Structure 1
Amino acid sequence: MKEIIQTDTAPAAIGPYSQAVKVGHLLITSGQIPLTPSGDLVAGGIAEQTGQVMRNLEALLAAAGSDLNRVVKTTVFLADMNEFAAMNAVYEQHFTAPYPARSTVQVARLPRDVRVEIEVIADLS
């Protein structure tokens, strides 16, 4: 049985999907882009955008009664792999060891032409 997780402290879905889904002991988030909870695109470069994405993920995890310490896997989508180091500098401020597994890929384009999108899987057990 799946439970839909929804919160006003993260941006609403901009399509036919859920912000996050809890199934069993797992929480799976949709990819978060740098939109504020009110739906505005964050100004600035990759560092500012990554910071907003991480705040959105924290809000979704909190809505499920969890936090970043329970994340076991992340997937990072970058518009430009040359921005990896700047993204990673912000990303690592939000996680502590032992770190989650991670995949990072460059993609041709992201929604609203943002620089970064991140999704996570967290263990809620």
Structure 2
Amino acid sequence: MSNEHPYPPAFRSGDLVSVSGRLGVTETGELAPGGFDAECPRAFANLDAALRSVGASRADVVKVVVYLTDITDRDGLNRVYEEFFAEPRPARTCVGVASLPYGGVVEVEALARVRDV
């Protein structure tokens, strides 16, 4: 898997942050071994890292889109989502798809608004 992509992990414009789709890959760029149960938490950890790279945090997220190759993984997604985000959780859309890059089973993208502190 290549770490070379023609887009950034996250892009900030003023107080808005758009996070590109994050797969459940490890630091080596390989999918986390173990299928959905390993990839899903890893995808959210990668989302967190992308947010931090532009000065945002998971508390700033207002919308999440999750793509699943097996929509029956939705219950597992809900568990990870509830652990990752504190109340009030951001809006979310979950979409079943035929395939994802590199054979991944879950991909997460997000929109955030960075609040002035």
With normalisation by structure 1, the TM-score equals: 0.85
Q: Does 1:123 align with 2:116?
A: no
Task: Give CA deviations for 1:64-122 in whole Å, capped at 9, x if unaligned.
Answer: 22211110000000001111101221121000111101111001110111110000111
Q: Does 1:57 align with 2:37?
A: no
Structure 1 outlier segments of 4+, above 3 Å: none
The one-letter code sitting in structure 2 at the alignment partner of 1:76 is V
3-state SS in 2 of match to 1:119:
strand
Q: 2:10 aligns with which of 20, 25, 46?
A: 20
| 1:14 Cα deviation from its structure 2 partner | 4.1
- Tell me, yes or no, if the aligned pair for 1:50 and 1:87 is still in contact at 8 Å: yes
**Equivalent position of 1:38 in the other structure:** 28
**Equivalent position of 1:103 in the other structure:** 93
Distance in 2, Cα, partners of 1:90 & 1:100: 14
The one-letter code sitting in structure 2 at the alignment partner of 1:117 is E
Distance in 2, Cα, partners of 1:29 & 1:87: 18
- Tell me, yes or no, if the aligned pair for 2:10 and 2:53 is still in contact at 8 Å: no
**Equivalent position of 1:47 in the other structure:** 37
The one-letter code sitting in structure 1 at the alignment partner of 2:25 is L
Give unmatched runs, 5+ long, in structure 2. Answer: none
| 1:45 Cα deviation from its structure 2 partner | 2.4
| 1:62 Cα deviation from its structure 2 partner | 1.3
**Equivalent position of 2:76 in the other structure:** 86
| 1:15 Cα deviation from its structure 2 partner | 2.8
- Tell me, yes or no, if the aligned pair for 2:11 and 2:54 is still in contact at 8 Å: no
- How many pairs are equivalent? 114
Identical-residue share of aligned pairs (%) = 36
| 1:60 Cα deviation from its structure 2 partner | 1.1
